[in-house]
Structure 1
């Protein structure tokens, strides 16, 4: 009996098609809805992609520096949406140049193309890793997939780039430098994979990544001028102060910092606890590399570490967690019972979906600095990672299947997970 036969839900093509259809329907509805002009007093939802589009529009109008000024960006968002929203812009200038190009298209079309194409890219990378177990990965990541489709965020892009890097890294290809360099759009999410490239001395890949980064930094400088950089640095400093003051929706953040800060403790204490956690995270990743973990486990460890290095991580960034799940799901299913799998799925859904549920449940009149709901994403995610790591140390439950071909064999050559 093969792994595929033992776990029909995780390899169910109908499940894959159902999740894909649901995502496609949401994307189509949102594309039409977002294209509709928002008028004063309209209660229509404003999402993250609106901020992308406003920043891009400012770029087209020659006022790109305004996107990094919180007050001016807020005014521009209100003028565009007709609603009093504040979504500070802190993306590096290369991504600002990208959204400027997107803003040349109508809003609905820009959203549909960006979200649809990045979702396709993400699922393609997951398929290369998980193989027949892709439906199981999509089921585990359902809250994140739906959230990212609804908001039009870039989680599919960053998740796909991390997956692309790890695939090439596992095959010792210099082309791993391409996705590593493109992670300049969100460099704080690339800390773990950059560390792997460094300790493995993948100099060719790092040279390619450096060349891409330099090019990506030069292009917006040529298009927008040198003033883009002081504006960007000032915007980052201003947003850091906002984060310390609790102005951001901490309940949608996945970091240890957000979990501690949302309890009412000071920003200094939260940063200290987070810093200790980030150091421990990096140390554990390096320890796993030093102990020569099997390739799929080291890749999954890098994905897990990526989520807890920066204090500024949101729920849509958890697409990277899906990459880690794709690497270990076949092995995990062989080492756990059905009830355990159900419990892990529930924990995964709670850890990844809490922010989305809290967004709908919160009282819009009561929110603000110090009044956000508790940030309850980091604790269950850490517990999930710990439980999965412990489960992977077990013996394969059915000895007869210990040497069965892996259903995820397209991406990396699998070494058996270590047993206790």
Structure 2
């Protein structure tokens, strides 16, 4: 009798539970070690990125939205909530567009810690509900909570839950409610570098309603942000892009936390120009993969997974918390495999992909090897094989169909 696969439903509960426990212990150890940091306050040991959101909101509510793009104006606000900050670091800058500043405008209405809790919990709930909808009827709540980027995003108070939820909802609703899907996709204008390939996909599949809804939503959001926050925020954002590019070129941004092709190349010793060139070449290939899959009538789970993975390869300035998006193709590929059968090695790949964000920074720090892009590229290759098999199956079905109809007569 042939033995069953080692990845059983029981183990799908044991492994995530152990992973969640290990991560919580790690967080506790980190908080314990942080107590010796200069100017330590227990309440400020987490939410490191959220304080930038709250600080920008604070300036905007004072009528000084454009000052969020000036680190000399923003840094004192950050110090007011974390007195332990003694010098400016690259990641203290506000690099987001006015659209996201409008989205976080209400944050500073609440005290800092309460605002962090409300923002993180509300976006986490949306993220969990969206992924549970993708995977139903399978229960994956523990897998979602124990997924390493979930802990990372919550610990830092980042926006990845929000952006992943918008992307997932937009793709889930694309066929049934294209206008609502377009609105969700248009709202990704809060973090546009992750949504670059979405218009390409919509154009390839001729999803005109969704495309127009997305364009209208993004345009309205941008205009509203300028009306509310002032036109100076647009020029401030453009200026911040140059600062971000300069910081990345100089290596001021933490490369070990950047699971991108650019970051991987830089860690291996490539110069900035060569790393940018390699990244651009991979980004073009990723775009071609989107075009190839989205031009043909593939199952939505395959098309959506390819788009998400390709989007993770396009931006050179993505950070480890953005791997929260990786849960989307993992969920879609898992459901598709359960329904249609598995390719050889596919389940093992999904396990590696689920664990990989936990070791990305460790591998980059110790071995100077960034695993993130390698995992994403491997998953993309599997999906292209899936799409090819699907196309062949459709071709066989089309060729057999006329014969079947003739015999039935």
- TM score, norm. by length of structure 2: 0.79
Cα distance in 2, alignment partners of residues 287 and 144 from structure 1:
29
Please name the residue that 1:61 is paired with: 62
Cα distance in 2, alignment partners of residues 336 and 137 from structure 1:
25
Cα distance in 2, alignment partners of residues 417 and 103 from structure 1:
55
**More displaced, 104-113 or 198-207?**
198-207
Please name the residue that 1:349 is paired with: 355
- Equivalent position to 2:368, from 374, 379, 403: 374
Cα distance in 1, alignment partners of residues 215 and 298 from structure 2:
27
- When residues 40 and 51 of structure 1 are mapped into structure 2, their CA distance, relative to the original with a 3 A threshold, is same
Shift in Å at residue 258 of structure 1?
Answer: 0.8
Tell me whether 1:40 sits opposite 2:39 in the alignment. yes
Cα distance in 2, alignment partners of residues 270 and 127 from structure 1:
37
Please give the residue correspondences for 1:16-415 in structure 2 after superposition, counting only pairs within 5 Å. Answer: 40=39, 42=41, 44-45=44-45, 47-82=48-83, 83=85, 84-86=87-89, 87-135=92-140, 138=143, 142-171=147-176, 173-332=178-337, 334-335=341-342, 341-342=347-348, 344-350=350-356, 352-355=357-360, 374=368, 376-382=370-376, 384-386=378-380, 388-389=382-383, 392=386
SS of equivalent to 1:169: coil
- When residues 341 and 214 of structure 1 are mapped into structure 2, their CA distance, relative to the original with a 3 A threshold, is closer
Q: Given that residues 256 and 370 in structure 2 are in contact (C-alpha distance below 8 angstroms), is that contact kept between their aligned partners in structure 1?
A: yes
Q: Given that residues 26 and 149 in structure 1 are in contact (C-alpha distance below 8 angstroms), is that contact kept between their aligned partners in structure 2?
A: no
Cα distance in 1, alignment partners of residues 377 and 286 from structure 2:
14
Cα distance in 2, alignment partners of residues 127 and 383 from structure 1:
25
Aligned-residue Cα RMSD (Å) equals 3.9
- When residues 387 and 195 of structure 1 are mapped into structure 2, their CA distance, relative to the original with a 3 A threshold, is closer
Cα distance in 1, alignment partners of residues 109 and 308 from structure 2:
34
**More displaced, 176-185 or 85-94?**
85-94
Higher helix share: 2
- Select the structure of larger CA radius of gyration: 2
- TM score, norm. by length of structure 1: 0.77
- When residues 224 and 253 of structure 1 are mapped into structure 2, their CA distance, relative to the original with a 3 A threshold, is same
Shift in Å at residue 19 of structure 1?
Answer: 8.8
- When residues 418 and 161 of structure 1 are mapped into structure 2, their CA distance, relative to the original with a 3 A threshold, is farther
Shift in Å at residue 230 of structure 1?
Answer: 1.4
- When residues 39 and 99 of structure 1 are mapped into structure 2, their CA distance, relative to the original with a 3 A threshold, is farther
**More displaced, 146-155 or 273-282?**
146-155
Listed as ranges, the gaps of 5+ residues in structure 1 are 363-372, 396-413
Cα distance in 2, alignment partners of residues 155 and 419 from structure 1:
39
Instruction: State the Cα deviation string for residues 244-290 of structure 1 (Å, max 9, x = none).
Output: 11111111112101111122321111110000000000101111223
Q: Greater RCO between the two (CA within 8 Å, min separation 6)?
A: 1
